[in-house]
């Protein structure tokens, strides 16, 4: 039975990925989320024999250790696939972002994920599988920075850099590592977004921030783009022997990928400035 650990399963991509993988009885899913013991969840109601739900805040060393202990005790210390999905978004002008907010963004999206990879690598190395994988849910903003999302984008750029280096480091161990970069999808991500907490006393960023919030609300209530786009991609990657280093999901993510590939960097930056100016002025 293939043992798969998924972080951030309380909602969104993580929850949908877990449900998709549970349909295959040859998968044993270790679904993790913060405060799992104290919350009702749709995964719990499934009553699947190939599912266990464990509490995990990926920034908490003791909680990571407990999950690792579970794998050591129940699965002979072996893990076949790690899916790093847990994360959150911080938006707003950097000037108005507190140091605590900025550090927390990096703690969750980069350091927490990096420690998951580091600490669970021994379990992956012990696996007898010939298709060991570490799949990281990133973002198209991990490739292209956007206004008022510099902190979030920086955390995802850091993750992309880590994974790119680990491609070569882990290949001799028989472990593939990759990122999936989704574009806009209807998840709880928008509801859980944090905004810069410091007051804009001079009103420098008020217009930009208000217009971006309106734009994000349009995205949140607009045409629903199914989560299954991402979860189906994860399932295909897990079941494929073809090596994938990075893949994009969604028309917007793929469009930015093509633009980044075709356009010189300075021209792309100028294009994004013009595009953003039109987007916020039209909100």
pLDDT tens track for 228-275: 899 999 999 999 988 889 999 978 788 878 888 898 989 988 888 887
CB-CB contact of 165 with 122 (8 Å): no
Q: Any idea of the CA torsion for 209, 99, 181, 213, to the nearest 10 degrees?
A: -10
Q: Which domain holds residue 43?
A: 2-205+225-260
Strands 81-84 and 2-6 come out as parallel
pLDDT at 146: 83
pLDDT at 237: 96
pLDDT at 161: 97
Q: Clarify whether 10 is annotated catalytic.
A: yes
CB-CB contact of 249 with 233 (8 Å): yes
**Segment (H or E) for 64:** helix 61-74
**Distance, CA of 176 to CA of 194 (rounded, Å):** 32
DSSP 35: T
Residue 6 is assigned to a structural domain of this protein:
yes
Q: Which of 3, 19, 48, 156 is catalytic?
A: 156
pLDDT tens track for 93-149: 999 999 999 999 999 999 999 999 999 999 999 999 999 999 999 998 888 888 899
pLDDT at 40: 61
Mean pLDDT of the chain: 89
pLDDT tens track for 157-191: 999 999 999 999 999 999 999 999 988 756 555 66
CB-CB contact of 138 with 82 (8 Å): no
Residue 92 is assigned to a structural domain of this protein:
yes
Residue 265 is assigned to a structural domain of this protein:
no
pLDDT tens track for 56-84: 999 999 999 999 999 999 999 999 999 99
Residue 152 is assigned to a structural domain of this protein:
yes
Does residue 279 carry a pLDDT above 90? no
**Segment (H or E) for 84:** strand 81-84
Q: Which of 132, 139, 152, 153 is catalytic?
A: 152
Q: Clarify whether 138 is annotated catalytic.
A: yes
Residue 125 is assigned to a structural domain of this protein:
yes
CATH number at residue 19: 3.40.50.720
pLDDT at 27: 97
pLDDT at 28: 98
- Tally of domains in the chain: 1
Buried b (16+ CB within 10 A) or exposed e, 108-124: bbbbbbbbbbeebbebb
Residue 256 is assigned to a structural domain of this protein:
yes
Three-state SS at 145: coil
Does residue 283 carry a pLDDT above 60? no
pLDDT tens track for 34-52: 987 766 678 877 878 999 9
CB-CB contact of 237 with 178 (8 Å): yes
For the record, the structure tokens of 152 come out as: 């979030």
For the record, the structure tokens of 169 come out as: 């480091």
Residue 216 is assigned to a structural domain of this protein:
no
**Distance, CA of 111 to CA of 105 (rounded, Å):** 9
| Dihedral over Cα of 97, 98, 103, 109: its sign | negative
For the record, the structure tokens of 134 come out as: 């570490």
Q: Which of 3, 127, 133, 138 is catalytic?
A: 138
**Distance, CA of 179 to CA of 137 (rounded, Å):** 6
**Segment (H or E) for 246:** strand 246-249
Residue 211 is assigned to a structural domain of this protein:
no
DSSP 173: G
**Distance, CA of 69 to CA of 73 (rounded, Å):** 6
């Amino acid at each position: 039975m293939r043992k798969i650990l998924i972080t951030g399963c309380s909602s969104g991509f993580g929850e949908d990925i877990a449900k998709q993988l549970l349909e295959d009885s040859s998968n044993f899913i270790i679904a993790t989320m913060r405060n799992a013991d104290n919350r009702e969840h749709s995964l719990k109601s499934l009553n699947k024999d190939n599912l266990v739900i464990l509490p995990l805040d990926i920034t908490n060393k003791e909680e990571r250790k407990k999950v690792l202990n579970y794998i050591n005790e129940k699965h002979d210390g072996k893990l076949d696939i790690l899916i790093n999905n847990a994360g959150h978004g911080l938006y707003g002008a950097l000037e108005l972002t507190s140091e605590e907010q900025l550090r927390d963004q990096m703690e969750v999206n980069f350091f927490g994920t990096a420690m998951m990879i580091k600490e669970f690598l021994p379990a992956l190395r012990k696996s007898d599988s010939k298709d060991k994988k570490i799949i990281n849910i990133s973002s198209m903003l991990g490739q292209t920075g956007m206004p008022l999302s510099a902190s979030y984008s920086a955390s995802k750029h850091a993750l992309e850099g880590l994974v790119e280096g680990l491609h070569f480091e882990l290949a001799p161990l028989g472990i593939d590592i990759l990122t999936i970069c989704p574009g806009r999808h209807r998840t709880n991500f928008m509801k859980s977004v944090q905004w810069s907490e410091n007051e804009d006393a001079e009103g420098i960023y008020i217009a930009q921030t208000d217009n971006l919030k309106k734009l994000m609300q349009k995205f949140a209530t607009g045409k629903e783009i199914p989560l299954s786009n991402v979860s189906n991609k994860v399932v295909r990657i897990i079941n494929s022997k073809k090596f994938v280093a990075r893949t994009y999901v969604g028309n917007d993510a793929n469009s930015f990928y093509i633009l980044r590939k075709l356009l010189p960097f300075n021209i792309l930056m100028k294009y994004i400035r013009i595009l953003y100016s039109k987007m916020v002025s039209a909100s």
